[in-house]
Each structure stands twice: as structure tokens, then as C-alpha cells.
Amino acid sequence: MSQLAKLHFRSQGVVRMPVVVRIPFGGGIGAVEHHSESPESFFAHIGGLKVVACSNPGDAYWMIQQAIASDDPIVFFEPKRRYWEKGEVDPTATPPPLFTTKVVRPGRTLTLVSYGPLVRTCLEAATAAAADGHDIEVIDLRALSPLDLGPVVASVRRTGRLVVAAEAPSESSISSEVAARVQEAAFHSLEAPVLRVTGFDTPYPPSRCEEDYLPDLDRVLDAVDRSMAW
């Protein structure tokens, strides 16, 4: 994988690497532990390798085609627990560029960022929090390497608060990178510390215990409440 990631760059584009590696990831389906991990940070650390993750049927339809059309090697992460979801897809629409972040729910009081399987959970959290008067903006990263954090920074400058949610452990992760870079770019706009809701820094547990490991609606709402109370 490391060699695959380098050839296009080192040949200055002469040698193309139109390779897509599909990887199902994430838990929530009762699989054995090695089949439920979230190893996206491992691949995002490889220079020259691009990493994306879809979160819904529409993005899955378009992003896989865009990845195949790319001249760069791309790791395409597919959230296993969302395989059976259905959604409307317009094959005549013009999709956004592959390596771009998308605001999936606008809001004014807090920015909630995620990707892959937890985007739906974050949308559910935003709906639940609305009952308490919280107007949450939900952002789907979609691309994990390179990260498109422009929309996230712009959102935080408006809301003053950021919560990042991901199934992967918190240490050396996509969530820690997002938190660090947004803090650097929008420090003076923050009215509360950047909070993260993640898996724990342990090996993935047996399937009977995964509900205690995975971030869920309650853990996301707890982070929202802690941020708003700061």
C-alpha cells in the first residue's frame, strides 16, 4: 500500500495509479472484533494515499464513481452498518467534488462534525437537541485525506462550538486532527473547548460489548450539553 501511494507523486504524474481499495469498516452489526474496527487513521497517515468515507446511499453512488475516475490511489471506506439503508439517488444530478466536506444540516449554535457511520447518529442528535433549543449544524467530512476543513472552520467561527464524533479511538485519529486544526484556525471564535466523542483507546471489544464501546446518541447529546454549558 505504501508503494502504491508513492508512484504517482514520485513520477510527477507520469505514472498514473487509478486504484480504488474498498474497505468495509465500523461496528454495530455484531461482527467479530477484527471486522468492526475503524482503521482509517492508519491509511490517512500514508503520504500520497487518499482516503474517503461515504455516509449515505447518495454519496455512496457518486463517490465510488468519482474514486474510480481518479488517477490517484484511493481507499474507499464503507460503513458496514449503513449497507442496508435506502435513499433517493438522482443519477442525472451533478455531485460535489470528491474531496469536499458537506454541510448536511445547517445550524447556528454548535457545529457537530462526523463521517461514515456516525453522520446519521449526529443528524438524529441534532433533531433531539432541537427540543432543548439547540440549533446544531451537522457536517459530513466525506474525505479524510486530504481533509477539507474550510467549511468546518467557517461554521465554528459562526457557532463558537465544535463537537467531533467518530467510531475510531481518540488517540492519533481523524478526530484529533480535526480538533487541532480547527483550534489553530478559529481559536478566538471558540466559546468552549473542542470536544470529541469517540471509541475508547482499547482493542475493539467482543460483539456483545460493542454497544458500550461505540459512540451513540446519548454520548453525542452529552457532549453537546457539556459544550453548551461551558
Q: Where are the domains of the chain?
A: 2-82, 102-228
Domain 2-82 matches domain 102-228 at the CATH topology level: yes
* Known catalytic membership, residue 134: no
Please classify residue 163 by burial: count the beta carbons closer than 10 Å to its beta carbon, then call 0-12 exposed, 13-18 middle and 19+ buried.
buried
Residue 115: name the closest of 137, 146, 142 by CA: 142
Class of the domain covering 2-82 = alpha beta
pLDDT score, position 9: 84
Domain covering 102-228: architecture = 3-Layer(aba) Sandwich (3.40)
Handedness of CA 15, 25, 146, 140 (dihedral sign): positive
- Reading the chain (230 residues) residue by residue, the pLDDT tens digits are 888 888 888 888 888 889 999 999 999 998 887 889 999 999 999 999 999 999 999 999 999 999 999 999 999 999 999 999 999 999 999 999 999 999 999 999 999 999 999 999 999 999 999 999 999 999 999 999 999 999 999 999 999 999 999 999 999 999 999 999 999 999 999 999 999 999 999 999 998 899 999 999 999 999 999 999 99
Among 34, 35, 134, 188, which one carries the catalytic annotation?
35
pLDDT score, position 167: 97
Query: Are β-strands 162-169 and 195-199 bridged in parallel, bridged antiparallel, or unpaired?
Result: parallel
Quick: pLDDT tens for 60-69. 999 999 999 9
> What phi, psi does 151 have (nearest 5°)?
-65, -30
pLDDT score, position 4: 87
pLDDT score, position 32: 80
Residue 45: name the closest of 122, 126, 145 by CA: 145
User: Beta strands of 1-121 (E only): which ranges?
Assistant: 20-25, 50-53, 74-79, 102-105, 110-114
pLDDT score, position 97: 97
